[in-house]
Amino acid sequence: MSSSIRQTRSFSLDPELLSEIDRTRGRASASERVNRLLRYALEMERKASLREEAAQFFASEPERRQERRAFQKAGIKSWRREG
């Protein structure tokens, strides 16, 4: 996900984070390591948000299922009366 134009920004990082980045960066530069970590964290945050959204959507599903069944039963009764 490399872009042709890079912007330089200044952020403050905790000293513990900086030492961990230096320790785990391997052959990559500290900036490359931070970029990879940020991409990963943003992707994890996006997935967590999607999971939460899905959980909220399906949390009301049993209630909807009962409503749907009641509607189906009423429709069947109506069709029986007509037939």
What's the rounded Cα separation, in Å, for the pair 15 and 21? 10
Domain ranges in the chain?
15-82
Mean pLDDT of the chain: 87
The SS3 call for residue 28 is: coil
In this predicted model, what pLDDT tens digit does every residue of 14-32 receive, in sequence order? Answer: 999 999 999 999 999 999 9
CA angle at 11 for the pair 5 and 14, rounded to the nearest 5°? 140
- Single pTM value for the model: 0.62
User: Per-residue pLDDT for 82 more than 90?
Assistant: no
25, with CB counted inside 10 A (0-12, 13-18, 19+), is middle
